[in-house]
């Protein structure tokens, strides 16, 4: 199936790379992607009445459908109607929560090419309205997950726009972010970080 962005550029799904098992993942979550871990965490938060956080749906316009049989339609081509903002949003104790989740196999830095200007603009708007905006970054080869507040991302983005480094080093992540220890239930307890931070 072919998906295209609003500008006509083809979308490439790299989720199969993200779902490859880590070498020694703890807590029986081998092969789980960051998105799957966060979705399970959000289900736990909802069931335990801790927070209501959901993955944002991406609006898609279907343009070509193949009907091999009347009851078995196959989508052949579709377009993203608009550029997405961030991956997740919701509410925790009256506070608006909005965040992006990213994985990288890089051991030494997080490439800023994984973020887009419209996402930075969106996170700035959320922060300006007293919402809580952040990124969850997973270094898959290191088996480390970090909570990086949006206000800590902005200076690195400005550095990139000014012709500087186009990534955030792992040392800069460790200084400016909070490490989230992987657990079982919930898997990635980012609300615990929010409790301590806000």
85 is in an annotated binding site: yes
100 is in an annotated binding site: yes
- Give dist(CA 177, CA 41) in Å, integer: 20
104 is in an annotated binding site: no
- Give dist(CA 49, CA 69) in Å, integer: 44
87 is in an annotated binding site: yes
Q: Which residues are annotated binding-site positions?
A: 85, 87, 100, 119
Q: Which residues are annotated binding-site positions for Mg(2+)?
A: 85, 87, 100, 119
């Amino acid at each position: 199936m072919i998906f295209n962005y609003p500008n006509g550029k083809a979308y490439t799904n790299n989720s199969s790379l993200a779902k490859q098992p880590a070498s020694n993942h703890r807590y029986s979550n081998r092969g789980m992607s960051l998105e799957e871990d966060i979705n399970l965490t959000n289900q736990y938060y909802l069931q335990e009445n801790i927070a209501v956080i959901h993955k944002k749906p991406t609006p898609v316009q279907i343009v070509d459908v193949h009907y091999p049989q009347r009851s078995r339609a196959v989508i052949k081509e579709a377009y993203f109607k608009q550029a997405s903002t961030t991956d997740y949003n919701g509410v925790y104790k009256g506070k608006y929560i909005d965040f992006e989740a990213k994985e990288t196999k890089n051991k030494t830095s997080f490439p800023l090419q994984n973020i887009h200007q419209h996402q930075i603009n969106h996170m700035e708007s959320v922060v300006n309205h007293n919402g809580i905006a952040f990124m969850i970054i997973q270094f898959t080869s290191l088996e480390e997950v970090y909570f990086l507040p949006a206000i800590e991302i902005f200076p690195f983005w400005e550095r990139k726009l000014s012709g500087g480094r186009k990534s955030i080093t792992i040392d800069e992540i460790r200084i400016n972010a909070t490490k989230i220890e992987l657990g079982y239930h919930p898997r990635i307890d980012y609300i615990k970080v929010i409790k301590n931070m806000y």
